[in-house]
Chains A and B, each alone.
Chain A
């Protein structure tokens, strides 16, 4: 039986680790390569790097980070943030990323998903969606709306419709990032996550809001997610990766328990 996955997301800016709270006031918390090594040794199932480097001339630093991590960490490595073209995706893949996350650029130009799927395979294209709750409307009948630019720009696109469109265009996996919950540690947006997980036939990763082990269990059971993404709850040493996996396992969630 397939295990549920615990995924840690590391936000990287100018080659250094950062964790955003509601995407503002990011503060530097260390070396991404060292953190990756630590989580790998502690049983992490998958790693995501999100490049939040502002200036484009510093983007090449990310390739060095990916390359350094890929030499030592032998679990799937997913990289996103600023991927605008097949060339960006291919550069990251050559540096050692397994999967490529597309987000804002795919909202602006959906064909990017199909182009990346064609070039690197559907299973390696992850559509990352930042979604906020809104009143139900003609544009957003699900009551959830796609936002971009780190949550600053609402797009008037329905969250559920975009998930289905992403799957149709060839995304192999979806990250459902609830912008309202991101960084709050109050728990994942379970209703949103379950709504999308039930509508698509590709894996769904719950993201945004994890603060306690119970939140992970909720996402992987009632939220119907295939994987739970964590950030601050492990980055600051509040919980260890192995501790979370052990707890979930004891609670009856199927996890990989030998590493």
Chain B
């Protein structure tokens, strides 16, 4: 990789695990909260755990929200992970927050009827691609990824949903539009199949 990947740092959790996973697949990644560096990046990973409300405050304060919107507009490959996917939608039920609006739709809290199902949805679960995408290429039936989340993305347009996972009901586990792609699971904690997805991202041209 000629240009490093920029992992956007907006006080939304520990980003070094994402950086280490990038290193494992041979990609140099820098963690940055500098909008100039985000604008100059060749590709961007937008990770995050934590709450939507404080994440948006931090993104707006740092000028990172605009830098990220700009990068998506410029056609750079962007990978959202977990909260990074959720706040790419227009609104989140978490803290009733207006989010980035890169994808029409909202983030909703799990409302579960079966008492034995716990919140958060934590652990390994199957991710089933529902339409082809370069980043999902190679995922086989039965492949599981690691999830930790109490909220899930609900895009308005089903054409944006690339993979589904079942908890009590199905939810969107991978959401994309153009050069933006987001996953609800943690590829950096999902063993071989997660590393393979990150590896594909480091070589993705942003087309689908």
| Segment of B32-40, B85-93, B100-108, B118-126 in the binding face | B118-126
* Cβ contacts under 8 Å, B120 to chain A: 122-123, 172
Check if B16 sits within 8 Å of A96, measured CB to CB: yes
Cβ < 8 Å to A, chain B residues 114-135: 115-126
How many Å lie between the Cα of A5 and that of B189 in the bound state? 14
Chain B residues with Cβ below 8 Å from A71 are 20, 23-24
User: A98 contacts B126, CB within 8 Å?
Assistant: no
Q: A74-B24, A74-B190, A121-B50 are in contact. Are A96 and B17 (CB under 8 A)?
A: yes
B interface residues, tally (CB under 8 Å): 40
Q: Is the CB of B192 within 8 A of A259?
A: yes
Knowing A45-B123, A74-B24, A226-B118 touch, does A1 contact B49 (C-beta < 8 A)?
A: no
Contact with B along A170-181 (1 / 0, CB 8 A): 001100000000
Residue of A nearest to B150 (CB): A123
Do B17 and A70 touch across chains, with their CB atoms under 8 A apart? yes
- Report whether B123 and A40 are in contact in the complex, using a CB–CB cutoff of 8 Å: no
Contacting pair A74 B195 (CB below 8 A): yes
Asked if B118 contacts A201 (CB within 8 A), the reply is yes
For residue A120, which residues in chain B have a CB less than 8 angstroms away from its CB?
13-14
Check B50–A75 contact: CB distance below 8 A: no
A26 proximal to B (CB < 8 A): no
Max chain A Cβ within 10 angstroms of own Cβ: one of B23, B148, B194 = B148
Q: Tell whether A121 pairs with B125 under 8 Å between CB atoms, given A2-B167, A74-B188, A258-B140.
A: no
**Hey, which chain A residues are within 8 Å of B121, CB to CB?**
2
Report chain A residues within 8 Å CB of B118: 201-203, 226
- Could you give 12 example pairs across A and B, Cβ below 8 Å? A2-B117, A4-B123, A45-B124, A71-B20, A74-B190, A121-B13, A123-B122, A201-B115, A203-B118, A256-B144, A257-B142, A258-B143
Known A226-B118, A258-B140; further 12 A-B contacts with Cβ < 8 A:
A2-B121, A2-B122, A2-B167, A5-B124, A74-B21, A94-B14, A98-B14, A121-B49, A121-B50, A202-B118, A203-B118, A226-B123
